Amino acid sequence: MARSRETLIQGLSDAVVDMAEEETVILAKEVVTNRFDAYEAIEKGLAGGMDRAGKLFEEEEYFIPELLMCSDAMYAGLDILKPHLKIDAQAEKCKVVIGVVEGDTHDIGKNLVKIMLETSGFEVIDLGRDIPPAAFVTKAKEVGARIIALSTLMTTTMDGMADVIRLLKEENIREEVVVMVGGGPISQAFADRIGADGYARDASEAARLAQRLVQRVTV
Amino acid sequence: MADLSPKERLLRVLQKQKIDRPPVLCTGGMMNAAVVGVMERTGHTLPAAHHDEWLMTELALAVRQDTGFENLGLPFCLTVEAEVLGSEIDFGTLACEPKIAREVFPSVRRVEYRDVGQLARSGRIQTVVQAGYRLAHKEPDLPVIANLTGPISTAASIVDPMTFLKELRKDPDNAHRVLDYVSEFLIAYARLLIEGGVTLIAIGDPTATGEILGPKMFAEYAVPYLNKVAAAVHEAGRPVIVHICGDIKAVRHLAPQIRSDALSTDALVNLRALKQDFPELTTMGNLSTYLLQAGSTDAVAAQTARLVRDGIDIISPACGLSTSSPLENIRAMTGVVKENRGNG
């Protein structure tokens, strides 16, 4: 029996929360077969589910393995639905350059932030781990990024974050780029001291912070 | 009791016997105090000392001498195990510690199993074992602490960590198999260290945190394999210290299940409260490494004195030290603890 649009959207959201990758794929295919709006299925179904998963993560109901499984389910559904988006729904997204600063190869936190940013509608350019400060600035200029998001887990590498801000000033583009920082040893006080625009405790908060910060920047 | 040697004092506290004051330690491994100041003074430098038993020995001695910590600690990184198991290591620089450049296996299913006895006799393990032997014979009154990278962190250093964490749920059979293999390997390595004469084994497992795994996965994967390694070390007649990174809130109730002789935690854990709730625990920690790096000597001394007043059993840094931590701060920390003689 054919399922209604509402049932499919709810089903997609639930499948993401339940970490059910195969179920997400089946439901996404059904959305396509029935010619339902792919944008709505992504927005309310997949991203909606990921948003719920993010809340469960904040509430410490879910932890990193669970959140990663949810995101796998979301991306699996996204792969099926994306080609069916109408052109006007593919409007240019706000770009974020993200990476782990030089000297650190711990990238679990950064990957979570990337997932949550993508879920919130950002286009994320992921430089990876152990990235020198200049590479963030070069890439941000190249792609016209509005946000640079920096992560580290190691106290040793925190200075690299300040270097990125210094380089942005030297290039005279500090005002055009929002700098967000996060990771184990980072605090709001540290963010303030190096002149970053924002600090987030976890991945869900980082996504909300990014949305808030880009609204403040004049386009 | 005024003439307890540092080794006796530490062994007594781990056996829950009376002591004059807490020991002040820095285990080595992830939590090592080979700061730039020590290396510049002595010329015994990293990354060279990661590969050379003589340099490793000399650097461990110099760290003890310059910082005032009451132990010798080995090695100076968390990558010995992963390298032997096949991962590619970036050895870093003088001021930046080694790290995993590339994990060798794409998933737990694809891990290749080898003979752990042979593995334990290869790579830099020999360097660490020999340095441990030299230190134990050179300084019989000082505890020599050899550090292992815990089972979860070692597994997440040979399998891509994102995949590994997902597979704890997706492929539990293979995840358990890999962790069992890694634990057997760590046990073989620990036995060689113990034969060489080290006083105790410390296990740092930075990926096995409550924040990353949550209580369910921590109970299923972290506790049993930490305990497996700990049991083998105990069987070989040595004590074990386990360090847990990050906030332990989500797994606090599991702390008494970890069969270590002391539990070391990160700075954001209230050790006094942990001790109140679980009086059977021997607590170790947890001076903020951020304070050690960027604070004033007065602030370091005041916070250290607070830990001693709180009755923390072993005083130590809360996590890995920044290599730029000033020696005056570290000496302020160790000095305050040593002044406290007789207050316990």
Q: Which two tokens stand for residue B189?
A: 């390595």
> A186-193 contacts: CB < 8 A, separation 24 or more?
A186/A152, A186/A158, A186/A161, A190/A158
Show which of A43, A70, A89 is a domain's final residue.
Answer: A89
The whole domain housing A38 covers 5-89
**Does residue B97 sit at the A interface (CB-CB below 8 Å)?**
yes
- In the prediction, which pLDDT does B342 show? 47
Q: Which residue of B has its CA nearest to A186?
A: B290
- In the prediction, which pLDDT does A93 show? 85
Query: How confident is residue A158, by pLDDT bands cut at 50, 70 and 90?
Result: confident
A26 and A59 housed in the same domain = yes
Across residues A87-94, what is the average pLDDT?
68
Tokens 């040793």 belong to A156
pLDDT tens per residue across span B201-243: 999 999 999 989 999 999 999 999 999 999 999 999 999 999 9
Show which of A69, A89, A109 is a domain's final residue.
Answer: A89
Across B168-182, b (16+ Cβ under 10 Å) vs e yields bbbbeebbbebbbbb
A11 and A45 housed in the same domain = yes
Residue A219 has pLDDT above 50, yes or no: no
Query: How confident is residue A89, by pLDDT bands cut at 50, 70 and 90?
Result: low
Show which of A40, A63, A89 is a domain's final residue.
Answer: A89
pLDDT tens per residue across span B167-180: 999 999 999 999 99
- In the prediction, which pLDDT does A67 show? 92
pLDDT tens per residue across span B23-69: 999 999 999 999 999 999 999 999 999 999 999 999 999 999 999 99
Residue A185 has pLDDT above 60, yes or no: yes
What is the tally of structural domains in chain B?
A: 1
**Does residue B90 sit at the A interface (CB-CB below 8 Å)?**
yes
A11 and A68 housed in the same domain = yes
pLDDT tens per residue across span B110-137: 999 999 999 999 999 999 999 999 999 9
Taking the C-alpha atoms of residue A57 and residue B308, their distance in angstroms, rounded to an integer, is: 36
Average pLDDT across chain A, whole number: 89
Smallest CA-to-CA distance from A141 within A176, A184, A115, A108 is with A176
Q: A40 CA to chain B: closest CA distance, Å?
A: 28
Residue B343 has pLDDT above 50, yes or no: no
What is the tally of structural domains in chain A?
A: 2
- In the prediction, which pLDDT does A102 show? 81
Q: Which residue of A has its CA nearest to B245?
A: A184
pLDDT tens per residue across span B232-288: 999 999 999 999 998 899 999 999 999 999 999 999 899 999 999 999 999 999 999
Residue A77 has pLDDT above 50, yes or no: yes
Enter the pTM of the model. 0.89
Taking the C-alpha atoms of residue B307 and residue B284, their distance in angstroms, rounded to an integer, is: 10
A104 and A189 housed in the same domain = yes
Q: What is the CATH number of the domain that holds B222?
A: 3.20.20.210
Confirm whether the ipTM is greater than 0.95.
no
Q: Which residue of A has its CA nearest to B100?
A: A105
Q: What is the CATH number of the domain that holds A178?
A: 3.40.50.280
Chain-chain contact of A63 with B212 (C-beta, under 8 angstroms): yes
- In the prediction, which pLDDT does A130 show? 84
Contact A77, A17 (CB under 8 A): no
